């Protein structure tokens, strides 16, 4: 099923540790993601998070 992933041209992402990442193309494979924040008052990109992140499982750790 891993090979059935399709890249979403509208969501670029470099988080290769995420199960939804295309890895070879720096794109997300989800049709839609949820972005959130862990800060009370976010001021820089680092304050935001992809809440659709799922840790990749498998041999590469």
Least separation in angstroms between residue 21's CB and ligand SF4 is 4
Residue 53 in contact with ligand SF4, rule: CB under 6 A: yes
Nearer to ligand SF4 by Cβ, of 2 and 18: the residue is: 18
Cβ neighbours of residue 47 closer than 8 Å, sequence gap 6 or more: 37, 38, 39
Cα separation of 46 and 3, whole Å?
Answer: 31
CB of 40 to ligand SF4, least distance (A): 22
Name which of residues 3 to 42 contact ligand SF4 (CB under 6 A): 11, 13, 15, 18, 20-21, 28, 30, 33
């Amino acid at each position: 099923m891993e090979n059935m992933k399709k890249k979403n041209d509208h969501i670029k992402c470099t988080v290769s540790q995420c199960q939804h990442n295309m890895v070879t193309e720096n794109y997300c494979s989800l049709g839609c993601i949820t972005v959130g924040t862990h800060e009370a008052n976010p001021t820089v990109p680092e304050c935001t998070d992809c809440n659709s992140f799922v840790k990749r499982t498998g041999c590469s750790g």
